[in-house]
Structure 1
Amino acid sequence: MLYVRTGLCGVLVVVFLAAAVSKCRSRSAFAGFRAAVAALMPAAAHVGPAIAVGVIAAEWAVVVLLAVPGTVTVGFALAATVLGAFTAVTVTAVRRRSGVGCRCFGARARPVGAVHVVRNVLLLAAAVAGLVSGLLPAAGPGAPAGVAVAAGVGGGAGFLLTVLDELVDVFTSPDPLL
């Protein structure tokens, strides 16, 4: 179970790190994210800037908590909470047909859609599985090579999830050269 939990940590650390860095990398990136938050949650638009800062703080907290061995369970719990909220907001925006761009991982603003809901549900499942795995009895420290492989595979899966919009574009583009 250690290897599964390590892989799940890898997925979530890469995803949350990429999300936090992409929103903080410049004033314009943060402004775009802040505008997207206000558009995704029109009823709470007046507190959009505070929500945007809170989201980024939570993303950084997840990264730190999952990276520190004694706080991994709390990191999975926070990740599950944040991803549950992201999923609810995304589903609501898709149902409203808002057309608001997803600023999850940078400047790209593909309108939120089913692919974002699926990605959030997969990440939520990873966070919950990581949380549950922490409740099971530990089998031991594991082999260092096994831990490294699990972390690498998880990180690779996390990377693929961060570029999911681009992958969807590649495979759905009518012009294969785009």
Structure 2
Amino acid sequence: MTYLALGCATGLCVVFLVSAAGKLGRTRLREFAVSAGPLRLVPRSWRSRVAGAVVGAEFAITTTLGLAVGGTLTGAPGPAGPVAFGAAIGLLTAFTVALSWSLHRGDRTPCRCFGASTAPAGPAHLGRNLVLLLTATTGLVTSWSAGGRPDIGGSVLAAVAGLVFALLVLAFDDLLDLFQPARRVR
């Protein structure tokens, strides 16, 4: 796994971990299931099960990406990286298609992607998903490159870059608010 793949894996690992953890608990999982309700992609009776499956998939991807990062640092990358990136691409594609369809229908229900967000979904969220998809695709393509045990300095730098990327993604709604025109208070 190259340093680029290591950075991608670290960033996506943190994003998926926070996303899954933000939906834990009966109330938050129900809020996530309800926020997906207007999409009408699944029957109402299945929404809580699908929401639980999404959280399970996010935790599974987090675990596999973590194994890929650990394997890379020890010099034994194995197949975890390509598998994890492929799974991330699949889940992010599903999220992006659902969000795109929702926006096309004019629905701006908050997606609660990371748990408690109440920001209405919009084109910027679609852009965020596309950036995450590009990151996962880059990770997949670069994870196949051979190499021995990576240099510790390069690995730390790649991991820190991935962490910074993850923090920017997680603060996306707040950063978006920063650049919105100020509202007048009467």
- Offset, 1:43: 4.9
- Offset, 1:44: 3.5
Deviates more, 1:138-147 or 1:109-118: 138-147
Q: Is the CA contact (8 Å cut-off) linking 1:2 and 1:141 kept in structure 2?
A: no
Aligned residue runs from structure 1 range 26-37, under 5 A: 26-37=25-36
What is residue 164 of structure 2 aligned with on the other side?
156
Residue ranges of structure 1 left out of the alignment (5+ in a row): none
CA–CA distance in 2 between the matches of 1:39 and 1:141? 48
- Offset, 1:116: 0.9
**So what's the TM-score if we normalise by structure 2?**
0.87
**So what's the TM-score if we normalise by structure 1?**
0.91
Whether 2:64 is the aligned partner of 1:56: answer: no
What is residue 144 of structure 1 aligned with on the other side?
152
Whether 2:5 is the aligned partner of 1:5: answer: yes
What is residue 22 of structure 1 aligned with on the other side?
22
Whether 2:178 is the aligned partner of 1:170: answer: yes
- Offset, 1:42: 5.0
CA deviation digits over 1:80-122, x for unaligned, max 9? 0000000000100111111211201121221211111001111
* Structural RMSD (CA): 1.7
Q: Quote the sequence identity (%).
A: 32
Aligned residue runs from structure 1 range 76-155, under 5 A: 76-135=85-144, 137-155=145-163
Q: Is the CA contact (8 Å cut-off) linking 1:41 and 1:89 kept in structure 2?
A: no
Q: Which amino acid aligns with 2:159?
A: A
Deviates more, 1:102-111 or 1:116-125: 102-111
CA–CA distance in 2 between the matches of 1:151 and 1:158? 10
CA–CA distance in 2 between the matches of 1:44 and 1:82? 19
Structure with a larger share of its residues in helix: 1
